[in-house]
Amino acid sequence: MAPLVTLSTHGNVAIVALNNPPVNALSHGVRKSLSELLVGAFSDASIGAVVIWCEGRTFIAGADIREFGKTPLAPDVPEVVELIDAAKKPVIAALHGTALGGGLELALACHYRVALPSTRVGFPEVTLGLLPGAGGTQRLPRLVGVGAALDLIVNGRLISAAQALTLGLIDAIAEEPLRESALAFAETMLLEGRPHRRVSELVAKLDAPGQLEAYRASIAQRSRGFLAPFHCIEAIRAAVELPFKEGLARERTLFVELMDSPQSKAQRHAFFAEREVTRVPGLPDDTATRTLRSAVVVGSGTRARAIGACFADASLSVTLLAGTREELDNGVAALRVSSAADEARAGLDANAKGRRAPMACSLDTGLLNDADLIVEAGEGDATAQRQSLGRIDAVVKPGAILVTTSPYADIDNVAACTKRSEEVVGVQLHQGGTARVVENIRARDTAPEVSATLMKLAKSAGKIPVLVRGPVGSRMFTEYLREALFLLEEGALPEQVDRVLYDFGFQAGPFAESDRSGLDIEWHRRKVRFDSLDPRARACTLLDQICEQGRFGLASGAGFYRYDADGNRIHDPAVEDILVLHSKDRGIVRRAISGQEILERCLFALVNEGARVLEEGIAARPLDIDMIWIHGYAFPVYRGGPMFYADQLGLASVRNAMLGYAAEPGGEHLTPAPLVERLARGLMGFYATS
């Protein structure tokens, strides 16, 4: 195995090169070799300056996250960083790729920094529920000012080399090849006798009195529930108020608090799950994929445009196929608006990926004949969609992939209606949460190559694709909403239920969320499944009553709430009347229900359905479910997703609480699913199954 760190000398300059693929993380081995070589170089009288440079695609992308939560091994990252800061000879960091977290902290302890133009730098620790814990919160405000430091550290925002230069975070933009440029920089610096600069010796000052308090207030809403952003602010306060060494100690205390918190554990879980989710059991990484160039989306409404955009983001040439001249005109107008918005966003965002390929809208059904991928995205019901797919199937070329986006259709039935069952898949885009998750639903006969192609496409569109055997998110949402509806008929009000789930960390509770996404879909789903519902669910007709009054949610101005012209939610006494009357009709005496009961019943209904989804093999792993819920339904990332959260609570105590609710009249549906029962009995969790 190649050494992790090597040192070579070039005249009186030493180049210390790291080689720890894929991202040169500061693992224990790297820290140990790096500090040994640095100590050697610092005491070698023939060496005047040291360049730290990395092989491979990036400069150090941070501490090694895989070591977090394990016994730390010396030297730790702060020790290596302080070793560099204290050096008597100048150290130059040569940056490329992504210099992040502990990597950027190390660079800030160097006495000069140069970077290739394509470099991006930043502190993403906050997204892992952490703060920069190796001096980053102390050095950055000293170097670039408190305002910029708050922006970068609290938001975990990456910036380009040009922006870093403007801020004074780096000293120069370097040319390729970086190693030689950095060497030349070091030689010039020595020749010119430039001063030995230590960021730790600068002073951090507030831009205005009360700046930190004002910043805290400005993030209060969007960072609601999170610990790390507020700890970041406190660490920056230490940079302003305390001498450097004491500031470091304060940063350490705050860092350790976060590292030990359940939030960071959950966010680190989410980080790895996001990467693991595309490695599907039974679908090897080397599964062949098809090269697709063109996609035709049948439909031009909202769903069609959203899915078309996803394929356009994967660089496919996408045409939306409208059914009528009016649909065509509307489609063209909508595309024009969204493309202008994309242009504006790309212009503002240094992190924006490549621009979306332009999309077209047409009436020409002949386009179907040559398309590589055809998406059925009409707004009709399951039968209409099946018929449409049948028509498409008859005209498309051999090898074309057919995608259905129907929220209702059974994928195996859909596939069976075509002559190409191995080339049929379902795709469900989710617009909640980060709106990044895509469920790729494979049918019984879908060819592995087709599944792998869809996974690759979604990934290159910047999505988080999850491969499943049937809809997962919507199926679990139905159970979650059903429990919330039971709570309404027992005595709760929509705002009470929503408040509890909002306080738990969801962006919106189940009723506000249903109103946002439209009640008609859930209502339709209920009608499709009506005969298979249990008696209590069948008799809980609240959703029918709301929808029968034309209240389909936000878009129709009313649902479980009323909405004003600006879309603000308003309590609606009419809904309360419906509830009270419904409870009376059902012979239910309305009662006060505690927040704890609301929370547990809604979440445990969700977890129980997740367990069934796993047991039936609809989702392969608990992490698939957690990704869908974090990125598609805004389940708070700092709780790690429903399955991770249940494990954190302890599955045995979840099971016991469920048994308690199941023993109440009408509570049988909360009987723990067999998988929950089995795991709880063995004192295991969804993740820890052995």
Tokens of 8: 């070579």
* By the rule CB under 6 A, 66 interacts with ligand 3H9: yes
Which residue number, 25 or 618, has a Cβ lying nearer to ligand 3H9? 25
Which of 90, 132, 510, 632 contacts ligand 3H9 by CB under 6 A?
132
Which residue number, 267 or 388, has a Cβ lying nearer to ligand 3H9? 267
Which of the ranges 60-68, 384-392, 590-598, 662-670 carries the binding residues for ligand 3H9, by CB under 6 A?
60-68
- Cα(59)–Cα(46) distance, integer angstroms: 26
* By the rule CB under 6 A, 464 interacts with ligand 3H9: no
Contacts of 655 by beta carbon, 8 Å cutoff, 6+ apart? 672, 676, 677, 680
Minimum CB distance to ligand 3H9, residue 37 (Å): 20
Alpha-helical segments (H) within 22-135: 28-43, 77-85, 101-109
Which of the ranges 10-18, 132-140, 173-181, 647-655 carries the binding residues for ligand 3H9, by CB under 6 A?
132-140
Find, among 405, 407, 404, the residue nearest to 415 by Cα. 404
Which residue number, 140 or 335, has a Cβ lying nearer to ligand 3H9? 140
* By the rule CB under 6 A, 128 interacts with ligand 3H9: yes
Respond yes or no: is residue 105 known to be catalytic.
Answer: yes
- Cα(331)–Cα(353) distance, integer angstroms: 25
Minimum CB distance to ligand 3H9, residue 251 (Å): 9
Which residue number, 200 or 388, has a Cβ lying nearer to ligand 3H9? 200
30, 21 in Cβ contact below 8 A? no
- Cα(597)–Cα(490) distance, integer angstroms: 12
* By the rule CB under 6 A, 494 interacts with ligand 3H9: no
- Going 61 to 65 to 66 to 71, the CA torsion angle's sign is positive
- Cα(283)–Cα(447) distance, integer angstroms: 10
From residue 506 to residue 545, the character string flagging contacts with ligand 3H9 as x (rule: CB under 6 A) and all else as - is ----------------------------------------
Minimum CB distance to ligand 3H9, residue 298 (Å): 33
Find, among 631, 620, 601, 603, the residue nearest to 686 by Cα. 620
Minimum CB distance to ligand 3H9, residue 60 (Å): 8
From residue 16 to residue 55, the character string flagging contacts with ligand 3H9 as x (rule: CB under 6 A) and all else as - is ------xx-x------------------------------
Q: Total binding residues for ligand 3H9 by CB under 6 A?
A: 25
648-674 b/e (C-beta count within 10 Å ≥ 16 → b) = bbebbebbebbeebbeeebbebbbbbe
- Cα(573)–Cα(562) distance, integer angstroms: 9
Binding residues for ligand 3H9 restricted to 245-284, rule: CB under 6 A: 275
- Cα(672)–Cα(660) distance, integer angstroms: 10
Respond yes or no: is residue 548 known to be catalytic.
Answer: no
One-letter amino acid at 524 equals H
Which of the ranges 28-36, 62-70, 438-446, 523-531 carries the binding residues for ligand 3H9, by CB under 6 A?
62-70
Catalytic residue among 82, 105, 513, 522: 105
* By the rule CB under 6 A, 77 interacts with ligand 3H9: yes
- Cα(519)–Cα(525) distance, integer angstroms: 10
Which of the ranges 59-67, 199-207, 366-374, 533-541 carries the binding residues for ligand 3H9, by CB under 6 A?
59-67
Minimum CB distance to ligand 3H9, residue 464 (Å): 12
From residue 82 to residue 111, the character string flagging contacts with ligand 3H9 as x (rule: CB under 6 A) and all else as - is ----------------x-xxx--x------
Contacts of 377 by beta carbon, 8 Å cutoff, 6+ apart? 297, 298, 299, 301, 303, 304, 307, 308, 405
Which residue number, 235 or 309, has a Cβ lying nearer to ligand 3H9? 235
The owner of tokens 């445009």 is 305
CA dist 204 to 149, 199, 240, 356, Å? Answer: 10, 10, 5, 41
5, 19 in Cβ contact below 8 A? yes
Find, among 621, 636, 262, the residue nearest to 433 by Cα. 636
- Going 413 to 415 to 416 to 422, the CA torsion angle's sign is negative
Minimum CB distance to ligand 3H9, residue 439 (Å): 21
Which of 125, 439, 522, 572 contacts ligand 3H9 by CB under 6 A?
125
Minimum CB distance to ligand 3H9, residue 122 (Å): 9
* 647 sits in which H/E element: helix 642-649
Which of 34, 50, 52, 65 contacts ligand 3H9 by CB under 6 A?
65
Contacts of 30 by beta carbon, 8 Å cutoff, 6+ apart? 4, 5, 18, 20, 24, 64
Which residue number, 254 or 488, has a Cβ lying nearer to ligand 3H9? 254
Which of the ranges 33-41, 131-139, 470-478, 675-683 carries the binding residues for ligand 3H9, by CB under 6 A?
131-139
Which residue number, 137 or 223, has a Cβ lying nearer to ligand 3H9? 137
* By the rule CB under 6 A, 124 interacts with ligand 3H9: yes
Catalytic residue among 125, 479, 600, 609: 125
335, 305 in Cβ contact below 8 A? yes
Find, among 446, 423, 478, the residue nearest to 602 by Cα. 478
Which residue number, 98 or 451, has a Cβ lying nearer to ligand 3H9? 98
Q: Residue numbers of the site for ligand 3H9 (CB under 6 A)?
A: 22-23, 25, 61-66, 77-78, 98, 100-102, 105, 124-125, 128, 130, 132-134, 136, 275
Catalytically active residues are 105, 125
